[in-house]
A and B are shown apart, each in its own frame.
Chain A
Amino acid sequence: MRDVAVIGVGCTNFGEWWDRSFRNLFVEAGVMAIEDANLAGEQIDAMYVGNMSAGRFIEQEHIGALIADYSGLATDNIPATRVEAACASGGLAFREAVISVASGMTNIAVAAGVEKMTDVDTSLSTDALAAAADREWEGFVGATFPGLYAMIATDYMHRYPLTREHLAQVAIKNHYNGARNPIAQFQKEITLDTVLNSTMVADPLRLFDCSPITDGAAAVVVAPLEMAKKFTDTPIKVLATAQASDTIALHDRRDVSTLDATVAAGNRAFKMAGLERKDIDFVEVHDCFTIAEICAIEDLGFCKKGEAGRLTAEGYTALDGNLPVNTSGGLKACGHPVGATGIKQVYEAVLQLRGEAGKRQVAGAEIGMTHNVGGTGATVAAHIFGRT
């Protein structure tokens, strides 16, 4: 296998874009990534596109071809493949691009993610997102996506010393970071009162425990490390790519509050990189809900089960803490255009490792990690990156 590096990144502003279409968003992110890599379009050998549910959100399928076409690459006949794994679609699209380059089948590959979620009303987007879980035996009986994570939170809070205030601290931290990220959907800091007084969605999760409905796209370019210096002075090496699966339904899990796919993907990533938890300078985790960030920090092995709430409240995961978590603002404040999220996490990791993260820069960041979850944990992608 060849070593692989990220040589270019691009990301649209995340938000509610009623004046921009799916294809506009994608092209904007794609062009930024290609320009960032100093590439000409004809040098691209393949594209992998993460997208969860364009069929429900904009009633468009065949996304690989659409994106190749509007990127101006259809006449070059490059292979363009859509990758779907619910909210982990972007993470898996990135992994497919890395594998393709590592194998030698491809030299330059673009990994992208895109979702346009605000063209339908909330009821339909709620229903579309519920499709990330088991439609037949969860969604059909009235399980919503926030409802499933709320059941994780109920179980967790029954067994471990996690308070309602600890959960709120996750949102407060991520909004603080989002306020320092120019692409974030929410760029305002919030207080404990904001979270605790927001509308109850599914007990114990309130509106400010949930990531928003978002439009956005992100794209990155990967190349063999040995070629990377031809394009950029600051290639970022992919130290590990890992993926794991678990049961589609939450009720079939060994332990409702432990995402075994996160545990497995994390272990595989650390083994592949030959690194330990203490080597990680920052991590972008999948915080679709505040409880998800708590589980992610523990299941990736950064602390013992039951400790992440207290550590969050103590500032351990803050920008200036021992392990900054979700420097971008996470899904919570940066926004969660489901298929794009996994690529946006890579975008953030690359900016941090290049030292280009502005007001949210983690000083001296050398090694970073990303963690992207599909559904309630049925798919997980984990990646580790390092400066070269």
Chain B
Amino acid sequence: MSVPRFWRKIPQRYNLEGTHCEVCGRYFFPPRNLCPDCRRDGKIVAHTFKGTGKIVTYSVIRTASDQFSALTPYVLAIVELEEGARMTAQVVVENPEDVYIGMPVKSVFRRLGTDGESGVISYGTKFVPA
């Protein structure tokens, strides 16, 4: 099943470019154009995240759809970035048993998957132990 290809042009896929609300102080990744707390009273500005954070929760995926099946088993996690925003990402480790809740991680730029054997390669953010 093919992946919508236009997404490889989204800049936030390659850099942790999110947003920040200067009124309430919240950070958003994925970026939001509207602050859920301040709504239209918020002031949203761009923010590039440092890329460090810790694991909130995780799983080891053993059955996946076609574009990820070659990667199985892989660790999927919710990562809380240092600034406070949370995102879902893969964690690259030698041994999935080493992953734990609270584990410090940092972002790396990696290949995410391929659309079929000779298809478009997609890239994005993964995490490694910090």
Contacts and interface: CB of A to CB of B under 8 A. Distances in A.
A244 to B, nearest CB: 16
Given A140-B124, A142-B71, A158 B65 contact: no
Contact of B90 (A141, A154, A205): A141
Contacts of B126: 141
Interface in B82-130: 86-90, 96, 101, 112-113, 122, 124-126
Contact of B30 (A127, A136, A143, A202): A136
Interface in B24-80: 30, 56-66, 68-69, 71, 74, 76-78
A201 interface: yes
Nearest to B124: A141
Interface in A104-162: 122-124, 126-127, 130, 134, 136-138, 140-144, 146-147, 150-155, 158
A73 interface: no
Given A137-B88, A142-B74, A202 B57 contact: no
B14 interface: no
Nearest to A257: B57
A124 B65 contact: yes
B63 A201 contact: yes
Interface residues of B, number: 35
Interface stretch (A18-26, A247-255, A262-270): A247-255
A290 to B, nearest CB: 14
B65 A155 contact: no
B6 to A, nearest CB: 11
Given A154-B58, A256-B78, A140 B3 contact: yes
A294 to B, nearest CB: 15
B1 A147 contact: no
Chain B CB within 10 Å — which of A141, A201, A256 has the most?
A141
Contact of A151 (B58, B63, B68, B122): B58
A126 B57 contact: no
A203 interface: yes
Interface size class of A (residues with CB under 8 A): 35 or more
B62 A155 contact: no
A192 interface: no
Contacts of A252: 86
Contact of A251 (B74, B87, B90, B101): B87
Most buried by A among B3, B30, B88: B88
A155 B59 CA distance: 10
B57 A256 contact: yes
Given A136-B7, A256-B57, A249 B88 contact: yes
Contacts of B122: 140
Interface string A194-217: 000001111111000000000000
B76 A143 contact: yes
Contacts of A144: 61, 63-65, 76
B86 A142 contact: no
B88 A155 contact: no
A150 B122 CA distance: 25
Nearest to A206: B62
Nearest to B13: A140
B62 A200 contact: yes
Contacts of A142: 61, 64, 68, 71, 74, 76, 90, 112-113
B72 to A, nearest CB: 9
Contacts of A147: 59, 61, 76
B62 A251 contact: no
Contact of A201 (B56, B62, B87): B62
A126 to B, nearest CB: 5
Given A136-B7, A140-B7, A249-B88, A151 B57 contact: yes
Interface of A: 122-124, 126-127, 130, 134, 136-138, 140-144, 146-147, 150-155, 158, 199-205, 249-252, 256
Interface of B: 1, 3, 7, 30, 56-66, 68-69, 71, 74, 76-78, 86-90, 96, 101, 112-113, 122, 124-126
Given A130-B65, A142-B90, A147-B76, 6 more contacts: A123-B69, A140-B7, A141-B126, A143-B76, A152-B57, A202-B76
**3 tightest Cβ-Cβ pairs between the two chains A and B:** A150-B59, A155-B57, A127-B65
21 contacts: A134-B88, A136-B30, A138-B88, A140-B3, A140-B112, A140-B124, A141-B90, A142-B61, A142-B68, A142-B76, A142-B112, A144-B65, A153-B59, A199-B62, A199-B63, A200-B60, A203-B59, A203-B60, A203-B62, A204-B59, A251-B88
